[in-house]
Amino acid sequence: MRKAIKSDVLKTAITENGLTQGQLAEQLNVSSQAVTNWIKGKDFPRPATLLKLASIFKLTFEQLVVTNDPGKPIVAFRKKGNAKTNSTHYAKAEAVGMLLKPLVEYLPEQQALRTQITSPSMDYHKLQLVSEQTRNRLGIGAKAELKYEDLIGEFKECGAILIPVMWGKQHEHKNALHIRLPVEDVTFIFINLDTYVEDFKFWMAHELAHVYTPDLAGTVEGEDYADAYAGTLLFPIKCAKEVYHQAIGIDSPDDIITYLLSYADEHLISLNTVYEQVNQYAKNINAPALPIDKKHLHIVRNSTAGPLVSEALYDPMPPAPDTYLASCEKTFQSDFFHALKLMIHEQETGSSYLQQILDVSVYDAKALYEELRH
């Protein structure tokens, strides 16, 4: 399918940055005519030039390029902290998506009937209703802990393929990576196990929201909705109401935080999730927010953080390839590596393929490859 630069976006970017087409061409090491042809839709930059163009103007691939390719992977990131995604991140993730396409035929037949949120809304009461409906379907009470097994089962039911990875705590900016192949109707979700246990459940719930709202995946609105849905699902209004009316009567901010922390521990979620949901409830009833300094809250949160998921799952670390693959299949109900094993045996796929799609070291890719070959 033919791609083209969004001419209005490019022209505006050139003007706002005080450049001429000739000066831009100089920076990109191309001719002025090449830039003119991009604007007229007669030509399209090479990949390396496109990445440089996007970097100069700080634009994402989606902002800069118009394409009528229905098979282009749809990418969504669960951002880490305040890290920002850029065109390089999107291009790399889309490339992984393209590499995953040949693997689809080796996956089990996907579920045809899947749960979807038909009218996603940031309205407080609508979010609570969706959360309640999700919990009812899972057979979980309004105040009960939502367990990992419940979330993993939902991914399975919705035909989403979980891929547990160990990217380290500081790996670029991703806690999770969501890649949907629209033509193949398959979603792959890479989840980073090198993250704290109490945060991991939120990221999984966030990714589940993307699965429920496929039309929003890859958009800012989709990220915002996924965050809102995750918090509501993990700590619904009945929990938030109970905690708020008890906490608001506590005099000491430190004692309030200790009280919130007890609920975070009970639900195995982060202190921040409890705090945010309680204050959302207060805002909804026009009541004062909890008198807590948020910086102090984060200090307490960081000082009370538990182990990483990978550390909780594997002892010793790092796990042997067979242990890791077994946990992917048994704990996370993932068909990914079984499909990969079939593909390796049938197509004689090499270890470099694993390195690219999993974004791991050459050493780790080879170790996994040898285990899958047997």
Query: Is residue 66 scored above 90 in pLDDT?
Result: no
Q: Is 301 helix (H, G, I), strand (E, B) or coil?
A: helix
Say yes or no: domain 3-67 is CATH 1.10.260.40: yes
Query: Is residue 292 scored above 60 in pLDDT?
Result: yes
- 281, 245 contact by CB (below 8 A): no
How are beta strands 65-67 and 3-5 bridged, if at all? Answer: antiparallel
Domain boundaries of the chain, sorted by first residue: 3-67, 71-234+304-374, 237-303
pLDDT of residue 357: 94
CA distance 161 to 179: 10
For residues 175 and 141, the model is more confident at 141
Between CA 108 and CA 75, with CA 185 as vertex, the angle to 5 degrees is 115
Write the DSSP symbol of residue 183: T
Q: What is the pTM of this model?
A: 0.81
pLDDT exceeding 90 applies to what percent of the chain? 68
What are the angstrom distances between the C-alpha of 288 and each of 75, 248, 291, 358?
A: 39, 9, 8, 46
Long-range contacts of 61-65 (CB under 8 A, 24+ apart): 61/87, 61/90, 61/91, 61/94, 62/90, 62/218, 63/6, 63/9, 64/5, 64/6, 64/9, 64/10, 65/3, 65/4, 65/5, 65/6
pLDDT of residue 86: 62
pLDDT exceeding 70 applies to what percent of the chain? 95
Query: Is residue 90 scored above 90 in pLDDT?
Result: no
Write the DSSP symbol of residue 316: S
Mean pLDDT value across residues 191-219: 92
pLDDT of residue 353: 93
H or E element that contains 18:
none
Mean pLDDT value across residues 268-277: 96
Query: Is residue 87 scored above 70 in pLDDT?
Result: no
- 187, 212 contact by CB (below 8 A): no
pLDDT of residue 298: 92
Q: Tell me: the pLDDT tens digits for 16-39?
A: 899 999 999 999 999 999 999 998
Mean pLDDT value across residues 123-143: 95
CA distance 114 to 239: 28
Confidence of residue 172 (pLDDT cuts 50, 70, 90): low
Confidence of residue 4 (pLDDT cuts 50, 70, 90): confident
Number of residues that make up the chain: 374
- Mean pLDDT is lowest, of 109-123, 150-164, 200-214, 235-249, for 109-123
Mean pLDDT value across residues 94-100: 89
Give me the torsion for CA of 272, 304, 84, 313, rounded to 10°: -110
Mean pLDDT value across residues 71-100: 75
pLDDT of residue 6: 86
- Mean pLDDT is lowest, of 99-103, 109-113, 270-274, for 109-113
